[in-house]
Structure 1
Amino acid sequence: MAPFGLVTASVGFLTKSFNVFTCTNTLARVIHAAYRTPVKCLSTQASGPPKRPLNAYLRYVVQQKPVVIRQNPELKLMEVVRKIAHEWRMMTPDKKQPFQDEFIREKEQFEVELQHYQARLTPAQVEQEKLEKKQKNAKRTAIRKKREANTMGKPKRPRTPFNIFMSEHFEGAKGETMPEKLKSLMDEWKILFSNQKQVYTQLAEDDRIRYKNEMKSWEDHMVEIGREDLIREQTMSNRKKKAAETEKAKIKKKPAKKAKSRTVKKTKSSIAKVDKKMKKT
């Protein structure tokens, strides 16, 4: 069976590498990228700020990665990183110090270059950098929330009719590579009769209803445990709107009760005055 996460992307997109790690492999991706590109921590780009230097640990990883791979070619990237991390933990402070000294030296130079770079910026460029920084932070926050939500058991999104068709026929699809299989499945899907597609359309509709019900239960649970930050913005907006309408309705009812109470008090007071006058007479 093909994984449900596959979507109806173009064949050209799927020809790219599928060697993508999960969120637990973030460090490995960083190290891999740092190794592929020679470390030029202080090289200032013409249109961008100077690059931040790698810290002591990352410097050690970049240095040791080719050595460990050469000595252990059977190890996967994550296993290589774990091995290097273990070596770093076992190292004495004296052996770590050269990496730390190099980091401090380049960090000081980086700060000087950064000041020179910022001094050359125009007000418009400063605002543009602030906007880009804000967008990057928002993207990081969104990624972090998505990972947390998945960890907390967020329901999987509903599948499309083609996703369901692909998952059922992926094993027998023509082609050796995944892009070839996907292309053959897309060709088969296009020539299906409408009544054949209707079966998968109904399954997709059932899956959509499943997702809607599970999401409601999951979001209610997130509110109960104080994790409103993980639920959808639209859901949160609807909850706030409903709460505001409820509060507004309560406020409207309260004055009416008070007015009724005042009327009763005035009536009783008037009756008491009449009784008093009658007694005098």
Structure 2
Amino acid sequence: MAPFSVMTASVSLLAKSLSVLSCTSSLARCTSVLPAAYVIPVKCLTSQATGPPKRPLNGYMRYVQQQKPVITRQNPEIKSVDIIREIAQQWRMMSPEQKQPFEEASLRARVQFKLDLQNYQAQLTPAQVQQQALDKKHRMAKRKAIRKKRELTNLGKPKRPRSPFNIFMSEHFEDARGTTTQAKMKSLLEDWRNLFSHQKQVYTQLAEDDKIRYKNEMKSWEDHMVEIGREDVIRERTLSKKKTATESQATKKETKKSTAHSKTTRKATKSSPSKTIRTAKKT
């Protein structure tokens, strides 16, 4: 009886595995036959817990998302910049009725986003809320720094001086060992460390010359910024130096004025007794 029961159990287990395999293969065949629009993607259950919901796309970005694969298939050799430019031109030429489906879809997504965001924030602990506030502060500071750097570049701010290793790397980067940028930089760092002191001295002198270049260019640039009324982009130490120089000049002027006034007072006091004696003699 025992061998027969074991055999029955093994046969039933084999039948179940075959049925599962057949169902999986049939599901795969059905999925391959159905179009991509009818295939329902499996949602990740942990996406809501790991991070906040993503902001929905506006109507224009939804149109870009729809048209970009179409234009890419039609023109495989076209650049991404040209694709976006063509899609933007199409969007500008569309009528409000043609844009309406994309705008309505964006509106529905925004409503759903607000509900998902409220549900997500209700599940957060006070520590997580504080951490999110800090992360947002860091992101805003980073964006502000990027915008300021872009503005300074547009205003023509001189490039910072290079270090000796940076000069060495720029000269030998093309001939460096390695296929990737990281591998080349690693090999150049090893070559730099193996250089003798007199070989490094050449690049050290070039770096010193570059510092002088940067100092002269920055002085001219900051003077120009003062002329056009952009003192807000000047370095703090330069402003403090200018302020100190202005205060010293004002102090010198005040000292000269006080000295001149004291000299005038002394002359007046010296001449006043003689005038009194002369008037006394006349009487």
Instruction: Place the TM-score, normalised by the shorter chain, in its bin.
Output: 0.5 to 0.7
Query: Is 225-234 or 85-94 further displaced after alignment?
Result: 225-234
Cα shift at 1:166: 2.3
User: Closer, same or farther in 2 for the Cα pair 1:258/1:200, shift >3 Å?
Assistant: closer
- Equivalent residue for 1:183? 186
* Higher alpha-carbon Rg: 2
Q: Is residue 2:198 matched to residue 1:195?
A: yes
User: Closer, same or farther in 2 for the Cα pair 1:138/1:180, shift >3 Å?
Assistant: closer
Aligned partners of 1:225, 1:141: CA distance in 2, in Å? Answer: 23
CA RMSD across the alignment: 4.0
- Equivalent residue for 2:234? 231
Q: Choose the corresponding residue for 1:168, options 151, 166, 171.
A: 171
8 Å Cα contact 1:222/1:228 also seen in 2: yes
Correspondence 1:65-144 to 2 at 5 A: 65-117=68-120, 128-144=131-147
Cα shift at 1:200: 0.9
Cα shift at 1:54: 1.1
- Equivalent residue for 1:218? 221
Cα shift at 1:258: 11
8 Å Cα contact 1:61/1:81 also seen in 2: yes
Query: Is 74-83 or 93-102 further displaced after alignment?
Result: 74-83
- Equivalent residue for 2:65? 62
Aligned partners of 1:163, 1:203: CA distance in 2, in Å? Answer: 11
Instruction: Output one character per residue of 1:6-65: Cα deviation in whole Å (capped at 9) or x when no partner.
Output: xxxxxxxxxxxxxxxxxxxxxxxxxxxxxxxx9x9xx97436543221111111112222
User: Closer, same or farther in 2 for the Cα pair 1:236/1:113, shift >3 Å?
Assistant: farther
8 Å Cα contact 2:49/2:120 also seen in 1: no
Query: Is 108-117 or 140-149 further displaced after alignment?
Result: 108-117
- Equivalent residue for 2:23? none
Aligned partners of 2:221, 2:247: CA distance in 1, in Å? Answer: 23
Cα shift at 1:213: 1.0
TM-score between the two structures when normalised by the length of structure 2: 0.66
Q: Is residue 2:202 matched to residue 1:204?
A: no
Aligned partners of 2:196, 2:130: CA distance in 1, in Å? Answer: 55
User: Closer, same or farther in 2 for the Cα pair 1:126/1:238, shift >3 Å?
Assistant: farther
User: Closer, same or farther in 2 for the Cα pair 1:209/1:255, shift >3 Å?
Assistant: closer
TM-score between the two structures when normalised by the length of structure 1: 0.67
Cα shift at 1:69: 1.7
Cα shift at 1:130: 4.3
- Equivalent residue for 1:51? 54
Correspondence 1:200-279 to 2 at 5 A: 200-243=203-246, 249=251, 253=255, 256=258, 260=262
Cα shift at 1:99: 0.9
Query: Is 48-57 or 129-138 further displaced after alignment?
Result: 129-138
Could you say what secondary structure the match of 2:49 adopts? coil
| Amino acid in structure 2 at the alignment position of 1:54 | L
| Amino acid in structure 2 at the alignment position of 1:101 | E
Could you say what secondary structure the match of 1:51 adopts? coil
Q: Is residue 2:157 matched to residue 1:151?
A: no
Matched positions, count: 240
Aligned partners of 2:132, 2:174: CA distance in 1, in Å? Answer: 49
Aligned partners of 1:255, 1:124: CA distance in 2, in Å? Answer: 64
Could you say what secondary structure the match of 1:159 adopts? coil
Higher relative helix content: 2
| Amino acid in structure 1 at the alignment position of 2:199 | Q
User: Closer, same or farther in 2 for the Cα pair 1:88/1:179, shift >3 Å?
Assistant: same
Could you say what secondary structure the match of 1:46 adopts? helix
Instruction: Output one character per residue of 1:128-181: Cα deviation in whole Å (capped at 9) or x when no partner.
Output: 544443332222221111111112211112122122222223333334443443
8 Å Cα contact 1:44/1:51 also seen in 2: no
Structure 1 gap segments, 5+ residues each: 1-37
